Amino acid sequence: MDTRPIGIFDSGLGGLTAVGALVKAAPWESFVYLGDTANAPYGDRTPAELAALSGHNIRFLLSRNVKAILVACNTSTSNAMDAMVRQARGTPVLGVISAAAAEAASGTKTGRIAVLATAATVRSGAYERAIRALLPEAEVTAVACPRLVPLIEGGHADPSDPALLAAVEAYAAPVRQAGADTVILGCTHYPIVRAAIESALAPGTALVDSGAASVGTLLAELSARDALGDKKSAGARQFFCSARREDLARHGAAFLGWQMERVDQIDIGRF
């Protein structure tokens, strides 16, 4: 047993989709969540910038004595995984891409899989590689969705929001055209607007939530290391961000359906 917290980070609200799944699956686990809101969005940054920003986040989480780190950000996972593993100095670091790719590869019936993701994740080609490693004949359609994260961080997450619906329609059109039966929400922000995305896709399209998929892998990894927390106790929840504390609390509570007790603001550049 290891009762230390799990560290989880994202550029902002997106990683809360993994938090929601973790709280449901393993309410006994303590965690420290960091939204690097001062530097969001990450979606159009270069691999070098992403390695530097992710390094600050890893060092902050290590300073909170975490037992493992879930990188609840596809953009960091796809562009900076090797750097993060080095910086974590032996603390396990898990990303979100392999679990989501595995769920899609095992679920698709037609082999036609679409990935909605940030521009940097699409540019990295990480999803194509992960999917083809499992299903070589897969036809993968990757669509960059640069308008979604700024809309979600700006509070435009209501499924009837006109700006959100217009953006979603533009990104869903190539997915419909490709005839994908499975769509990976390859950015942890996107499940927050799942209803809007679903309404723009062909009926019956299966959606894969990358944050939720990775929580299963994380818990399996902790179990294999005999490092799960104390199942008889309620886990402690700590939330940090690097700017716009009120936004994280307000928009986060709307998505999670429960309030964060408090959100502390940190100077991420110090770590």
Q: Name the residues that contact ligand DGL, by CB under 6 A.
A: 10-11, 14, 40-43, 73-75, 118, 121, 149, 187-189
- CA-to-CA distance for 175 and 200, rounded, in angstroms? 10
**CB 117, min distance to ligand DGL, A:** 7
Q: Give the list of residues 6+ apart from residue 46 with CB closer than 8 angstroms, or none.
A: 120
DSSP result, 139-201: EEEEEE-TTHHHHHHTT---TT-HHHHHHHHHHHHHHHHHT-SEEEE-STTGGGGHHHHHHHS
73 is catalytic: yes
Q: Which is nearer to ligand DGL, 27 or 269 (CB)?
A: 269
Cβ-based burial of 120 (10 A; exposed 0-12, middle 13-18, buried ≥19) = buried
Q: Tokens in use for 166? A: 């217009």
Q: Is 76 helix (H, G, I), strand (E, B) or coil?
A: helix
**CB 211, min distance to ligand DGL, A:** 8
**CB 139, min distance to ligand DGL, A:** 23
Q: Which of 16, 66, 73, 268 is catalytic?
A: 73
Is residue 234 within 8 A of residue 28, CB to CB? The reply is yes
**CB 197, min distance to ligand DGL, A:** 14
Q: Which is nearer to ligand DGL, 31 or 229 (CB)?
A: 31
- CA-to-CA distance for 232 and 81, rounded, in angstroms? 34
**CB 138, min distance to ligand DGL, A:** 21
Q: Which is nearer to ligand DGL, 130 or 228 (CB)?
A: 130
Q: Which is nearer to ligand DGL, 67 or 189 (CB)?
A: 189
Q: Which is nearer to ligand DGL, 138 or 145 (CB)?
A: 145
* Site of tokens 């990976």: 184
Q: Which of 187, 241, 260, 263 is catalytic?
A: 187
Could you give the residue numbers annotated as active site? 73, 187
